[in-house]
């Protein structure tokens, strides 16, 4: 590891490919994979991750907005790319010129897209979204048929497929079944997909043409208590900057929220909330050093945090600190960090700052 780095992430492309194989094995032969690489591939790096998945046989990609799709096209990816969110009219010219598939949830969006396609003298690729209980995007069932009919009749719109989004696939099978039952009361056109990582790994027996995995690709089983054989893709490490002795009764960091109950050795680490380490980990989070779990003491600051290394008398400046990954025989996952921070692994991954180098292997 370059000595100049105080913060870095390593990305295992072999683990990514293994996770793709695991997810593919969970669905019937012939089911295509629409890999969710939105938001910089969950913080793993949009272009390197999409290229690796493409080479491994992934058939399609899903991104959050048009500029991400354009970045993939610029990088040479030719597979279909679905804009998973709602797109504004200002984004339509990018979607049309880059042959990105636009999600529409309402007649208003469909009409706006049709006008943009007519102005550009081209045909827009469209997927219509059905709302079955997420209440975020998608047309309600009473409106969905009207929306799909409008798209199918309009000469400037091509209905590529239809899909819905599961709100509780990781936690509530009954709610999920109600959503799926509702979606199959309506005629769906072309591509048909609903299964995120949790639904894919739970093997819901509903017909579909595609699955839409996100977190599972990056090595996390999102189901409560799920134990799918997925491999972590990202490791996040840092280095100790300073090791010092703190006397009993002295306070540490902003707000003096930690007072030493005894004499301690405390190490300053070059990672803070500007790097994506949650502020909420102050006085409650941990990191690994030399295979030993060390608690965060005091508040996490913008560029630094402090760890109690009293149990590691050999700890010294420059030592490796592991936030996510392996140290000795111990492993820390994004799920571990999320649990301590009171959040979810999706947020842990996506908040890791772009300024931290990603090293691919």
Q: What is the DSSP string of 291-308?
A: TEEEEB-S---SS-EEEE
Among candidate residues 119, 140, 254, 330, the one labeled active-site is 254
**Helical H runs in the chain?**
13-25, 38-42, 46-55, 66-74, 92-97, 107-120, 141-153, 173-183, 197-202, 334-341, 345-351
CA dist 285 and 266 (Å) reads 15
Active-site residue, 38 included = yes
CB 323 within 8 A of CB 6: no
CA dist 75 and 106 (Å) reads 31
Segment holding 82, helix H or strand E: strand 81-83
C-beta neighbour count of 279 within 10 angstroms: 13
Whole-angstrom Cα Rg for the chain: 23
Q: How, if at all, do strands 60-63 and 81-83 pair? A: parallel
| CA–centroid distance for 168 within its chain | 17
Residues recorded for the chain: 361
Helices 141-153 and 107-120, packing angle to 10 deg: 20
CA dist 278 and 285 (Å) reads 9
Active-site residue, 174 included = no
Q: How far is CA 355 from CA 267, 270, 348, 352, in A?
A: 23, 13, 15, 9
CB 218 within 8 A of CB 233: yes
**80, 53, 173, 165 alpha-carbon torsion, rounded to 10°:** -30
Residues known to be catalytic: 38, 254
């Amino acid at each position: 590891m370059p000595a100049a780095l105080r913060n870095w992430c390593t990305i295992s492309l072999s683990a990514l490919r293994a996770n793709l194989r695991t997810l593919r094995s969970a669905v019937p032969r012939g089911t295509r994979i629409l890999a969710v690489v939105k938001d910089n591939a969950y913080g793993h790096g949009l272009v390197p991750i999409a290229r690796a998945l493409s080479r491994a046989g992934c058939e399609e990609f899903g991104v959050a907005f048009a500029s991400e799709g354009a970045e993939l096209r610029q990088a040479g990816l030719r597979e279909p790319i679905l804009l998973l969110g709602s797109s504004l009219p200002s984004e339509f010219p990018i979607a049309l010129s880059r042959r990105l598939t636009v999600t529409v949830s309402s007649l208003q969006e469909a009409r706006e897209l049709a006008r943009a396609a007519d102005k550009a003298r081209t045909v827009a690729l469209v997927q219509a979204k059905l709302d079955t209980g997420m209440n975020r995007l998608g047309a309600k069932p009473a409106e969905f048929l009207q929306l799909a009919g409008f798209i199918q009749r309009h000469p400037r719109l091509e209905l590529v497929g239809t899909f819905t989004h599961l709100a509780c696939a990781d936690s509530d099978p009954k709610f999920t079944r109600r959503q799926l039952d509702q979606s199959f009361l309506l005629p769906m056109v072309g591509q048909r997909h609903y299964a995120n990582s949790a639904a894919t790994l739970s093997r819901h027996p509903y017909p579909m043409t595609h699955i839409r995995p996100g977190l599972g690709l990056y090595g996390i089983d999102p189901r409560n208590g799920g134990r799918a054989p997925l491999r972590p893709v990202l490791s996040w490490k840092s280095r100790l900057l300073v090791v010092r002795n703190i006397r009993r009764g002295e306070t540490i960091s902003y707000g003096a929220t930690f007072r030493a109950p005894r004499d301690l050795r405390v190490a300053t680490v070059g990672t803070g909330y500007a790097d994506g380490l949650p502020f909420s980990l102050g006085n409650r989070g941990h990191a690994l050093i030399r295979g030993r779990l060390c608690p965060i003491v005091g508040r996490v600051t913008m560029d630094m945090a402090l760890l109690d290394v009293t149990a590691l008398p050999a700890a010294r400046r420059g030592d490796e600190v592991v936030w996510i990954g392996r140290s000795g025989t111990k492993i820390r996952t994004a799920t571990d960090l999320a649990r301590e921070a009171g959040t979810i692994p999706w947020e842990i991954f996506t908040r890791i700052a772009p300024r931290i180098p990603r090293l691919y292997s």
